[in-house]
Every structure is written in structure tokens, then in C-alpha cells.
Structure 1
């Protein structure tokens, strides 16, 4: 009974029943430890160990499997005895508090602290290992506990050293109760410590900086020597072996240029180093950096300063190549055959922990600049975040998460045998069986099977991420571009790939390899391009106008300042290479954008690009992140231009790839214009007010007209706007340094907005602006008072101006004024009108347009009889004559056509008009996306004709033309029927071949 009671009080809750390696040997373990307990007067522990039961069997197996834990239990049985009074969790908390107190004890000395830390660390390690092996703690809890222990020990040593320096007059600490606060001494934990992922026998990697201007520093000139000396003592406190062991081996080699820099580096010098000379591996290392001891606030501030270096908006893709080379070295070391379990390095070997960490970190380096949620330090949460953003599959996330924790358990077991810093599985059968039993397997064979399967799963996901590039070049044929003479086999290969002028292609590629462009001047860039060339030629050969596509790519290369990033990117991402070939072959407009602004290509990296809809909320969030922070006026405008250029390109790519339809593309282009022009307006208002002050009660609203108002913009649309303003009735001049009268003030502000939006700069133009739809057109002032606008619209506006107003929509500015404007527009449109007169005037206008601007051919979709203008006129006339079904006010042509009143247009006509509009919209969006000039029927890029067939779901270009002709004929008939006798008859001004 007594034995049962004692056992029930022993606070360990195992979930595993371990088997010993040697049952006979295991039976002798507990009596020996019980004897040691008796000698120390620990009678309840001795009685417990002498008993029989599941806990005793577990402990016997643990001590048989781990000589390290057995020796600790023999030397210090009191550690086990504490588990009658506290759980392991509670005891570890108590140890953490004791470590913190040891540094600040009044009688603390360096030697007493060293002894205390070693004793506390040994006890903590024993308890952490016991919890892990018994299954009481998950591996995730084990790595966190080990990391917390390292943090506590480092903090204690730092606090002691700072207080000692304070006593000696070397520092003047502002907060003696919290020595590290405002001390300026920064200790960043790197690697597994930074990520809270320490293994059982891990080194701790530290990088040490200091702020010479911190409040505690007495002499900034002496600070480097002082903090380097303190750092040297810190390493000694933690690392030196004494009769009590050691605390943590400490590695300072991750600091900048460790061969020539002091142990502690001033923060400014460190920041300069990282910005000017930092390597890709150092950026990767900084992902896991965390302030672990010392001045934590200063450490956090330092890492914040470093963020632009680590998390680049535009990724340097050479980092991927760095990982490739490390991967190749690992494979060269172990070979590619069957993975041998015996002697396998769990950390660095094929399919090991390092591959999972690289898998995560490279994705973070690529994407973290754009997506802050991918900047975490811990491997497993980042796998989840990468999957949530679509960078990896849920299958990869689940498999790698499972294998990560499995491999970490294996690593811990290997280290718990003898507390050795090793990651290598034993070569001997018996020792391998020991590891298998520690992990709860039945034996060596079962473990070997599970371990090999784990490595293969990791390797498969890792290989899928990094090793696709070599496969791209397989089976292309002979490709030789050296010397000055064409290689006959190469010409044959190029012809077979789809190139009509193989000799010209050879000449272009030889130019690349001779380094004639800046992009190929470095040997490394040429080497990457050589590796990429077979895949490049294969992709361009499939575009149906391969020579032209490759020549465009050549123009693109000619304008690039450097190429290693691009070549590495295309080599590691076949889908992107295919998309690049499509753009170069079918979309000269997009090709020109890439050629002028290569950074827009970065946006294509986001794997969620084709699944995330570019709706208003998405674009708004992206824009806010892109222009965040306090920025100068010109910088804000430049960033708006960059953002708009990139997002127009990415919306276009989605349309090109078929992931959004033409109508959604129109809304996305329009939302982008709304958001960026509104942001430009706010920047202009703020900048203008600095010089000219403000008008009392002044407020501004922008009215979007034309395709912007109807949310039907294309990639090449300009923007129609009217700027309206209001102010207090008695407002006089503005209150700034250079006051202006209200009308002059808003006219000048509008001119400033026009310049901000449409003036050409190094970053291009935001939008071409057209303000001719304002009251009185070009003769009227550029800014219109709201009262003048209301009066004009109600008393003086022409029918065509009210038709234009049918598409008007407030897009930005003061919310109340926008609401007032919307109400006024609705009221003007709802005014009673003579419907017959409106229809007659609209028909006359259409006839005049046809006479003055006859269409070029069938493909002049806007101007052809029965084309877009006919549909827009029908929608606008219906709107202003009250022939739209009741509901919220619509501005989009498609929406209005879908809600034409039954008395105005029957169901068949509505359906016919809607179908025609969808066809025209699809063709117009794709043509404007791909071409900068007019659509030339006799010179359509084959890639573009394929895209037009895909977006209209028609089988052949001749069928498409016949369908377009028939559709325009029907629309013109409907136009004549709906708008009356005044409508122009069908007499096309172009050849109907």
C-alpha cells in the first residue's frame, strides 16, 4: 500500500512504455540509484525505486538506454526526488527563477555563478530529457524548454557582468534592478536558439552588438574594448568546463566578418556592413535572429533597422543558387543511391533537418519582403504560413511538419545517449537498436524503415522545390554557341524547336555568351544563362512565333543591369519561364513593360497570384503596405507609379493566364486607378497645403467618368476625371504662407494633381488624364465648384453630357462631398426628359461619329456599326430616359444592359446585347493588354490569336471573325429598333472581307 502511495505521488505522466536495451542490466540500475538516494537521506525516493510498477520500469529503461541520464541520477538523486513535490513543468519554472536570482545575489562572484549555472543546467537537462523520452512532453515543448533554459543562462551571465562593470565604474546602469535595460549591450540568438528550436546538446550561436550612445555607456570611445571584454567573459562563464561540467558551448562566428572584427560590434558599423557587404547566407541567418539577452529593446530596434536588408521587396534570386550549391555539396558527399541509415547525419544528410530548414528559409527569403506573415523564426509555424499563402502545398506542409518533428526526436535521442554534440546515427547494430528503443520502436528494423521513409519524403519535397531546372534541358538536342561559325547540328536543333531563322538565333545567343550586354558581363551570369539556354529555347520554340519572341527577350536582356537573379529564377521555376515565353510571343505591351521595368517580374513569383482575386480589398491592402511610413511627396508619387505599373502588369498576367475573366479584369484595372489616384490626390492636398495653407471648410471630390466611372478600364485606357470642390460660403483666401483665393487655389491644386498623375518621370506615368468632360469642356476651369456643377448639369448640360454622366462615379476625396455628388448625379439622371428627343439626339450623335471617325476595319470594335459605342449609347439613353429596372444606380454598361426595362427592350434583345458586350469586352481587354498600337488583321501574333480564341471559346480565327461580324450586325439592328428612326442605317465604312 505504501509503495502504491509513493508511486502515485511521483509526478511523471508518461505516454510511452520504453523497453531497455539490456533487461538484465536495466534491473540493476534502480537499486544502485536507490543506494545513492539512501546515502543522501532521500528515503522516499529510495523506497520508490525499490518498488515495482510502470514508472519504475520506465525509469529503468531510460537509465539503461541513456548512460548520461543514469550517471546524473546516480550523482544527484535529489533531482528525481523533487518530482514527488513538483511536476517537471513546475520544477523547470522554479529553476528558471533560480537562475535569474543567482546573477543578482549580493555575494555573487564569477566562480559562484559558474557553479550555480552548471548545476541548474544539469538538473534542467535531466528533467527535459526525462519528459521527452517518457513521452510526457512533445518534441515542440522540448526544443522550447531547451531554448528557454539557454535564454535564462545567457541573461543571468549578462546581468552579472553588467552589475560587475557598474561596480567597477566602467558603466553607469540606469536600472540596477534590471541591469540589461538601456545598457546598450545586444545579444542576438541565431539559428536554433533564435528560433526557440535548440537541440539537446546544441551550441548556442550568438552575435553581439552594442550601442555606444546608450545611457549606460560612460565613454563611447572605450565601448568596443569594454563590451568585447564582457563578451569574452560571458563565453567563459557559459562554456568553460569545470568539475560541474559546462553550461552551453557558445559560438560567435556568425558575426560580420569574424576574422577581422571585435567580439562586440557597434550597431552602426554592423548596419553598414550588412547593407554594403552582407552575403545571402547572412540574410538567411538573420531570419532566425532574436534578442535573447542584454538590452532587448535595443536588440529589437536593431533587427527592425535590418529588416530592409533581410526582407527585400524585390528578391535577389542568386540566393536560390546559393542553396543549389549547398544542396549539390551535400549530395556529392553522400551520393544519390539508397540512403544508408547507419552513420547517416540526421541534420546535414540527404532528407535531413537542414533540408527542411532550407526549404522554409528560401521561400521566406523570396516572399517575406512582400508578405510580413512569412517572416517568422520557427520552422513549423512557417510551413503553415507558407501553405496558407499558397507558396507550398498542404501536402508538403503536413509531410514536412511530421518529418521535422520525427527527425528532431531522432536527433535528441542520439544526443541523449551521452550528452554529445552529434547528429550521426551509430554504425553498430546494437547502438542503432538503442536509438530505436529510445524512440519507442520495437527494434532496429522497424526504426530503419520509418527513418528511411522519412528521409525520402523530405528529399522528394526538397527536390521538387530546387531540382527542377536540370530536367528542363533534357532531350533538346545539340546546342553549341561557341566560336564564330554556326554548328550545323545546332541549326537543325533550333529548326526542330520551332525557329524559322536559326542562324540569326545562333548570332543572338553568341552575343549573350560573349558578354556584350551588362547583364552577361560577369562569368557567373554567363554560366547561369548557359545552363538555362536549352530550357529557354524549348519554351520560346512553343510560342508559334519563336524568333520574334526570342528577339523581344533579347531586347529585355539588353536593358537589364544584372542577370544572375533573373537566370536563377527562371531556372528554378519552369512555369514562370513558360509565362515569360507567352508574354514575349503574344503580348508586346507586357513585353515592353517587363523590358522597361524588370522588377515587375518579381510579382509573378507569388504562387497565389493566379488564385487570389485582385479585388479592391486585395489591392488596397497591397497599396497600403507599399507606401507605408513617412515619405516625401515625390517618393510617394514614385511608389504609386511603381505600384500601379506592377499591378497593371499582374492583373494583365492573370487575364492572360485565364485566372480572371475580362469583366473582372476591367473592375480590377478600375479599382487600381481609384486607389492610386485617390492616394495621389491625398499627397497633393497635403503638399499643396504646406505652401498655400487651407481654405475654410474646403473639401474635394473626384468624379470618375467614361470607362473609369463604369469600371471598364483596360490595360491601355486613359482616365476621364472631373475635380469638384466646396468650401464655406464666406471663405476667403487660404491661410498659408502664399494665400490663394478659393477658385485659384483649387485650379492650381488640380494642375498639381494633373502633373502628379500624368507627368512622365523616371518611374513612368501613373495615368494619362482627360478632363474634357468637365462643365464647358476645355473652355471651363479645370476645377469646378459643386454648386456650379449642379447648376450646369440641371440648366445648361447637353444631352450627350447627361449620357456621359450615366457612367459617372465618385472615386475619391472627401467622403461627405462624394456622397453629395452621388446623390446629385442620381437626381440629374432621374430628371424628366422627352424620350423621343433624347433618342433622336443620340442617333444624330452616333451618325456624326460614324461620319467623322469611320472604323478602319471589322476589328475597330469600338467604332464599327453595331460596335461598343452602339452598346454604350443604348445603355446611356436607357439610363437617362428612365428605362432601367429600379434598384441601386448602375454605371457599368454590362449591368445596365442586363437591367433594361421590359418596355424598352424585350428579353431576347437584352440577352443579345449582353452577349455582344461580353464578346467585345473579351476581345478589347485582351487586345489592349497585348498590343500598344492598333490591331493589324494581317499581322496578328499567332500567340495573340490563340489568346483571343481562348477568351471567346471559339475554335478558329475565321469562325471568330464571322461571329464578330454577325454580332455587330445584330447590335446595329437592335440600336435602330431601340433608338428610333434617327439611327444611322447599316452602311459600313470598311471592307467586309
Structure 2
């Protein structure tokens, strides 16, 4: 085998790096000298100007690596004080500075922004020193990866400790030891992958999983039930601190997607939930990933104890060849996706390509999964250490150990060099000669061809050893057998495979899949899209099989493909994130309404790649910030409204997915959908006001606001809700007209504004409709003016309004508008609802109204939960009746029914009645959200998609839809009985 340049240098000279382009090198030399002059780095300047080996090494390095050249210029003072042969000392001092930051940094003495800046500065300095130590030959590969891992761990601890102290400052927890917040806290941060093994590469992200104990010894949560939510919010801040990129760079990209079931689990997971998951649903790939898991921050003792509890899951006592099949499948997918049918040098991926680093890691992990259960000493996290132990135990030969060790070190150095050039998380070699020459030179080779030869020999060696474990050469295969979709007639082995996967019409399904390769749909017209789709076909078929109705699932996916305008981005996302595939099938099988959205806007899937997506729903402030960013610099009226429509549609979709997957409850979904509507209405009103003002000016001293009623008013919006609104205005007496070029009387002005608002919200465009709008609840209904003055509104409500109109006001609240008028309107609403009322008269009116609804709008079946007796309407009417008669002085703006029930005096409502009504309201909301989210048709369990029926059963944790029906029937009977007891029994009018 060709030998690489010696990794270690002699004690007097760094490794020689060849200069390929003298002009580039001269430019770099001048740039570094200028940086040294600015920094007063005379020693460095002398080395650069003279015939010093260290100066020559820096110039040559800078000529090949623009990122390192810029880093040297920024850190000239550091280089000036540096002893090139004692880089370990300088790196250690930088890591020690991070450790000191972890011990001492406390809010508010140090702001989050300043903490981030210090972390970026220290990381940048250490990053440069580590790179120089690697390139000049002072460090071995193990030392380089160890330094990078220690750097990441120290930075992570500094950020986490600061955040824990900040939670303590906010009185959300009490720390046993503020000097070491993690100790005894029960907050477990596991480093996964290369961080866990202490083998980070130069531009690696860090994979973390965070768990917590509910009742740790050293930390007291002020509200233990909020521990998970508070930690998840803290982790979102941690991610921002670690990976936000500024002019100073970033600290470390951070990924939390290796946690259990990231689609449903929050960012921080309780230990009990994690153990339940791993014991019941843990996957083989998760076992392989946990081999390298290591506590890197927080409560390390608790972390070790947690990993000890996972030992039976990770390490099986028997030879686990099923796990090996999973690893083989992963490797085959990597090859299919990357297209590495043969070893090439230019453009080769040294991590994922044939003969690459991943094959060495799989080689080790595979044998650990087989043998580690019975041999605890074969459970080490380090790749090279495991090769040594395997050879010592006779699992592999000494030659295999030595060849794989040499290849691993060489390939890791290549990986580092490729990343140092531009600080990019890449593992792919350049495709042009100049780029390859730079890599060869940084590796210490004088000739590029010599580097190519050395690399090829190692790739071939690794592939040969890996081939001893896995049989390669398959085309496209699944665990059940071969899959081939070429030729005129179905492949018999493929039909057998499809049958084994559960397809009842394998020949028809073969024809459908084969048709994808002909590019008849827009989504598969490009060759690259078809290649991506081919790469995920095995995973698709397994996912179809998992639904229990694979034929139907495949046909739904085919219909979805037919509607997609393009497929390349979606197929790429599905390939890199398997959970999205499962989620897509859930949507296709259970939620046709959501299916329409992803067919029109497949990029909404981007939102689900955010690690924080499944933590929960964004609050109003987060949505407002996202909306501001999305609207950006749009100034044109139509452009701004179109962006608003896109934002609202996508956010409603993402909220719906969270509910569908169990990441949000019904009440949370209603609140989130309401927040989206509030923000959209506020933005639409602003846009409408600007547009009206452009032609008609303003009403001097005039104010307006928008009043929300119905489900928008009570924060109970559903996926298909319209918005019930009233626009109120006020202006000083004596104002007769607006002050614009085209004057309008105030009544006309605000009527015009209301028309603009309605159009902004409900006019159909290519981007759809924001909301269907209903203004019929304004005084005088459709016969009255569109906009209502506060004086007219107050007079009408106090002297002319019907009981049902006051019932509607029990859910009213101001959504947006001028602050002064909004406050006056809210006060007036409270005053109107506080007016004396005759309980008997209100009861009679409610009873008559209910009877009229049963006559005019009878229920369409037992699943019509709004209209059915004992359903949502009865609950709402009870709440509104009690609000008007028993709680007239309570200021409950926009109160939902359950909020009213919770504050009623026990003399008004019995404890059992309160419990029955709240429980029914919760279950009705859960079913209502599911049905409105998933279908626009009347629900019939016999005719509904199986996915929808299963999703409903899942919401109530029952095995069959009959259990849900029985539960709802019980609710209806109890609510109906309460309604009859309190209001009376409605008899539909003839």
C-alpha cells in the first residue's frame, strides 16, 4: 500500500505543504503580513517575511484554504504568541477558558448575546489552532478529533449552565449548586455519534438527546408539571446560541433529531417516557446509535445511570442478525442515494461513498451489535479502540485491524482537510483539478497523483473488508426480497416480494410503480427526481405495508404524485428523514384537507424539519415574529396579502399536523388557530387602512377596531372555521369628512374600510382565501351598515338587542385596532353583559332558539356533534345562559364554555355536572378538530378512510371506533340531561 506522508513531524519543522500557485501564495503572504502589522504581531510578521518553516507553512496553508486564511488574519495576535510545537497547550488554554465561562457566566451579568459572542470567539480561535495542529503534523487524528470533541463539550456546558442559571433567575427552578448547575439537576444531555465517541470532525454538527428526571435530588422545579415545557423552550434557546451564524461565525450546529420518535416527542423527554419508548418501540438503528452515546453536559451521573438502564436494550445477549440486516439496508440506501456504484476519486464522498468512513464505522458497530451483548469489553465508543479489541479477541485478523486503522486515520484526515478549506460540512472531494491539488497539498503530498493512488488503495481496502460482512451488488432490494420495476412484464421475484409485504394486487401495484419511471407526472419528469424516487422506493413500500392496507396507501401516494408540480425537493426530504414519510402517509390516509395543501405546497414539509417543530405549538409572539420575517420587505398591497395568505395556510397546516400526530391537544390547536387568525386579521386591517388612506386620507381623530365573535372570539377556531367580525369606529363630534384627496363622510369612510377588510380576508386569489368572513352579527344584521359606530353599537345592545345577541357577546373580544378605542369597546362589552337580566326570560329565549335550530338545522347523524341534542350547541347555550344570569359582573372577555363552567359557583352547578360538561367539551373538541381537519364530508365510520378512523381511535387510546361512539353517546346523554334540567326540553316547532 502506498504510504502517506508521515503524520508526525520532527521537532524542528512542521510538515511541508506544497504551494501550487505562487501568485496566490504571494497574495496570502501579503495579507497575513498586513494582519500581523495591524495586530502588532512582530514575531509572526518576521516568520512570514523571512525563511522560517513555520511562516512558510502558514502561507502555504492559507493559499489552499480560504477559511483558514481568514481565520489566521483574525487571530494574528494569537499566532504571534504561539509556540508551533506546543499547540496542545494553547488549545487546552482555550478549552479551559470555556470551562471557566461555564463555571462563572451568569445572567444578567452576561447577556445571551454576549455569551454567544464569547463562545464564537473562543471556538474560532481553538478551531484555527486545531486545524494547524492537524495540518502541520503535531497531532494525530485521535488527538485532533479529541480536541474538537472537548471544544464542543466545553462550549455546550457553558451555554447550558448559563441557561439553567437563567431559569433559576426567572424563579422556574432552584439549583442545588449555582456554580455547577448541571450536577444533580436531573437534566441529562447525551452526546451521540462522533461527539459521544470523542471523534468529531472539523466541521461536524453535534447530535444531542436531552432527557430529564421529574424529581431530581439537586434541583427543584417550582412547577414540576412545567419541567418538560420549560426545558424544551430552554433547548430552543440553546440551539440558537450554538448555531446562530453571525459575522463572527457560529459555535456548533446542533441537531436533536436522534431523540425517540422526534415526530411526537418534545425536545426534552422524561426518563420514564424514554425508557418506555426504548423498551417497547426502540429500533435497531437506535440501538446502533446508542452505542456511542455519552453524557456530555448537565447531570452526568444521572446520564450514566440512564445509560445503564438502557443496557438490556442496546446490548442483546444473543447474536442479533436482524439488527445486521437493518444496518445493511441503511448502507444500501446510502449507496442508492449517492449513486456510488464504483469508486471514483474526484467527487467521491469519503464518508458515505464506497470504501468510506461510514463503512469502517458500520464494520465496527455491526460486530458490536453481534458480540457486545455477551462481551462487555466490546462496548467501547471509539472506532480505533474497537478495532484493536476485535483483533485481540480474534473477531478480525491483525491485518484487518492494521489496514482499517490506517485507512480510518487517512480518510479522517482527508475529511478534515476538505472541511477546513471552506468550513463546510462536506465530505465530498473536489471535481476540478485545482481543488484536488489543494487537498493533496494540505495532506502533505507533493504530487496530486500520489494522493489519488494512496486514497484509492485505502478505499478499495475498506470496501473489501466491508464486503466480507455484507453482500453487495444488489440492485434495489428490501428485506423481504428483490425489487425490480424495469421491463415489459412484472419480475416474478418482485411480485413475490410485494405479496410478502402484504399487497393483495402485486401485479397492478408493480404497474403503478413502473409508470413512475416514465415521467408521466410533473413530479417525476426530471431524471434526478426519478432517481430520488427510486432511492426511496424500498422505504415507501415498507411504509405502505405498515398501514395495513398497502394497495390503498400506494394508490393514494400515486394520486398525490399526480398532483405535485415537482418532486425533487420532497423526495430528497423523504429520503433524509424517514419520519416524514410515515407522516406523509398518515396525512394521505387520514386527512384529505391536509393532502390538498401539501399537493399544492409540498415545501410546507420544510417546517417539520425544524427540531423544535414537535415540541409543541408556537405562541403568539413566535407566530408574530415569523409573520414579520415572512412578509419581509413586501410593500405592494397585493403582494403583502398574497404572502399573508401563504403564511396563514402553511401555519394552519403545521398546526393541523401537530394535532394529527399528537404533539398538540384540541384546546391548544384551537388557541393556535385563533392566534393565526388574529395576526392575519390585524395585518389585513393594516393593509386595508393604508389602501383606503391612500385615496381618502384619514378621519381626523378617528379610531377603529375589529370585534371578534363566535369561535374566533372564544379562542376555539377549527380548521374550517369562518370568522365572525364587527368593525366598530369612533370619531370626535363635528368631523364631517376625511382629509384625503377624495373626501368621504365618516360613515362612508369606515364602510369602505370594512369592504376593503372583507376583500382582503375573503377574496379568492391564486394563493387561496384567507378566511370566509361573516359580518351578520353586527347590529341590524345584513340590513344595517357594514361599519358600526361605538355609540350606535352601545345604544343598540343596551336597548334593542335580542337575547341571542347578548349570548353572542359572551364570546366577544377585540382582535385588533386602535388602542384607545379597543379599551373603550372592551369596557363597554363588560358593561353590557353586566346589565340586569331576567333568568326566566333568558331561559325561555334559549329554549325557543334551541327548538328553532332543531327544526331548521337538524343533525345529520350522531357524529354531527354541533347540532345533535346533547352536543356542542347545548354546551355553548348552557355556558352563555349562565354567563348572562349567574356571572354578569365577571369580566370574561372571549370566554370559552369550559372557562365559564370553571368559575361558576357550586350553588349554580354541581361538581358532577361541571365535570361532565368539561369532559364532554374536551372530547367534542378533539373529535371536531379531527373531522374538520381531515374531511369536509359528513363522517360515517363505515365509509371513512381507515386512516381517519384509526387516528380517531388513537386520540382516545381505544382499539375500535365503537369505543369512541359509546363514549360520545354517554357524553350526549349527560349533557342533554343537564340541559333539560337547567333550561328545559326543546320541542322543535312544526
Q: Distance in 2 between matches of 1:584 and 1:939?
A: 16
Residue 97 of structure 1, CA deviation:
4.0
Query: Are the equivalent residues in 2 in contact too, given 1:545–1:943 (CA < 8 A)?
Result: no
2:772 corresponds to 1:768 = yes
Q: Which moved more, 1:130-139 or 1:504-513?
A: 130-139
> What TM-score, normalized to structure 2?
0.59
Contact 1:330 1:349 in 2 (8 A): no
Deviation at residue 504 of structure 1 after TM alignment: 3.5
Partner of 2:132: 200
Question: How many angstroms does 1:559 deviate by?
Answer: 2.7
Query: Hey, what's the Cα distance between the residues in 2 that align with 1:581 and 1:823?
Result: 49
Cα contact 1:346–1:423 (8 A) shared by 2? no
Instruction: Say which of 897, 902, 907 aligns to 1:903.
Output: 907
Q: Deviations over 1:307-351 (max 9, x none)?
A: xxxxxxxxxxx9x97799753676435573467444766675587
**C-alpha separation in 1, matches of 2:634 and 2:540:** 43
| Aligned mate of 1:137, from 90, 95, 101 | 90
CA contact 1:702–1:721 (8 Å) conserved in 2: yes
Q: Which residue of 2 aligns with 1:543?
A: 547
Partner of residue 349, structure 2? 327
| Superposed counterparts of 1:160-171, under 5 Å | none
Question: What is the alpha-carbon distance in structure 2 between the residues aligned to residue 537 and residue 791 of structure 1?
Answer: 66
Deviation of 1:198 after TM superposition, in Å, equals 8.8
Contact map agreement 1:69 1:126 (CA 8 A) in 2: no
Residue from 761, 784, 808 that aligns with 1:804? 808
Bigger mean CA offset, 672-681 vs 545-554: 545-554
2:829 aligned with 1:825: yes
Within-5 A mapping of 1:80-95: 95=37
SS, match of residue 723 in structure 1: strand
Instruction: Please tell me whether the aligned partners of residues 725 and 777 of structure 2 are also in contact (alpha carbons under 8 angstroms).
Output: yes
Corresponding residue for residue 753 of structure 2: 749
Matches within 5 A, 1:864-943: 864-883=868-887, 886=890, 888-889=892-893, 891-943=895-947
Shift of 1:680: 1.3
Counterparts of 1:556 and 1:911 in 2: how far apart (Å)? 43
Unaligned 5+ segments in structure 2 are 1-7, 17-32, 59-75, 98-123, 136-243, 250-333, 341-346, 361-400, 428-437, 455-461, 463-473
* 1:706 corresponds to 2:710: yes
Match of residue 793 from structure 1 = 797
CA distance in 1 between partners of 2:607 and 2:558 (Å): 21
Q: Which runs of 5+ in 1 are unaligned?
A: 1-61, 71-90, 104-111, 145-191, 204-286, 293-317, 364-410, 428-454, 456-469
Matches within 5 A, 1:332-731: 332=354, 334=356, 336-337=359-360, 340-342=404-406, 349=413, 352=416, 361=425, 474-731=478-735
The worse-fitting range, judged by mean Cα deviation, of 556-565 and 590-599 is: 556-565
Once the two structures are superposed, residues 920-963 of structure 1 have per-residue CA deviations (whole angstroms, 9 ceiling, x without a partner) of 11110111111122212321222111211222233421121112
Any idea what the Cα deviations from partners look like across 1:222-253, whole Å, max 9, x if unmatched?
A: xxxxxxxxxxxxxxxxxxxxxxxxxxxxxxxx
Show the counterpart of 1:954: 958
Q: In structure 1, how many angstroms separate the alpha carbons of the residues matched to 2:446 and 2:687?
A: 62
SS of match in other structure, 2:718 = coil
Aligned residues of 1:513 and 1:526 also touching (Cα < 8 A): yes
Residue equivalent to 1:463: none
Question: In the aligned structure 2, how far is the partner of 1:345 from the partner of 1:767?
Answer: 60
Query: Any idea what SS the aligned residue of 1:138 has?
Result: helix
1:755 Cα offset (Å): 1.0
Is the 1:667–1:711 Cα contact (8 Å) retained in structure 2?
yes
Say whether the 8 Å CA contact 1:703–1:808 is kept in structure 2. yes
d(CA) in 2 for partners of 1:888, 1:202: 66
Q: Deviations over 1:668-688 (max 9, x none)?
A: 011110011111111111122
C-alpha deviation, 1:895, in angstroms:
1.3
User: What's the CA shift for 1:509?
Assistant: 1.5
Per-residue CA distance 1:937-990 (angstroms, 9 max, x = gap)? 3212221112112222334211211121121011001001111x4x326x999x
The equivalent residue for 2:11 is 65
Aligned residues of 1:710 and 1:892 also touching (Cα < 8 A): yes
Instruction: Identify the residue that residue 308 of structure 2 maps to in structure 1.
Output: none
Q: Deviations over 1:330-373 (max 9, x none)?
A: 6435573467444766675587575799997489xxxxxxxxxx
Q: 1:200: Cα distance to partner?
A: 3.0
Change (3 A) 1:763 1:358: farther
> Residue 47 of structure 2 contacts residue 55 of structure 2 at CA under 8 Å; is this kept in 1?
no
What secondary structure, in the 3-state scheme, does the structure 2 residue paired with 1:200 have?
A: helix
SS in 2 for 1:730: coil
Paired position in structure 2 for 1:273:
none
Q: CA deviation at 1:888?
A: 4.8
Q: Distance in 1 between matches of 2:840 and 2:422?
A: 72
Q: Which has the larger radius of gyration?
A: 1
Please, what is the CA RMSD of the aligned residues?
Answer: 4.5
In the alignment, the residues of structure 2 paired with residue 423 and residue 822 of structure 1 have an alpha-carbon distance, to the nearest angstrom, of: 80
In 2: Cα distance, 1:334 partner to 1:418 partner: 20
Aligned to 1:387: none
Inter-partner Cα distance in structure 1 for 2:948 and 2:928: 12
> 2:293 — aligned with what?
none
For residues 471-494 of structure 1, the C-alpha deviation after alignment (integer angstroms, 9 at most, x for no partner) is 996404343322343344434433
Distance 1:488 1:322 in 2: 28
Residues 612-670 of structure 1: per-residue CA shift (max 9 Å, x gap): 43221221221122112252111111111111111111101111110111110111011
**Is the contact between residue 691 and residue 738 of structure 1 (CA under 8 Å) also seen in structure 2?**
yes
Please give the alpha-carbon distance, in whole angstroms, between the structure 2 residues aligned to 1:814 and 1:532. 53
Determine helix, strand or coil for the equivalent of 1:714.
coil
- Give the C-alpha shift of residue 781 in structure 1: 1.3
SS of residue in 1 equivalent to 2:614:
coil
Q: Deviation digits for residues 871-908 of structure 1, max 9, x if unmatched? A: 00000111111348956545112211222222221111
Task: Tell me the number of residue pairs that the alignment of Structure 1 and Structure 2 aligns.
Answer: 652
Please say if 1:863 is aligned against 2:816.
Answer: no
**1:506-526: per-residue Cα shift (whole Å, max 9, x none)?**
232222111111221222221
User: How does the TM-score come out when normalised to structure 1?
Assistant: 0.59
The structural deviation recorded for 1:793 is: 0.8
1:734–1:741 Cα contact (<8 Å) kept: yes
- Partner SS for 2:613: coil
Deviation at 1:859, TM superposition (A): 0.4
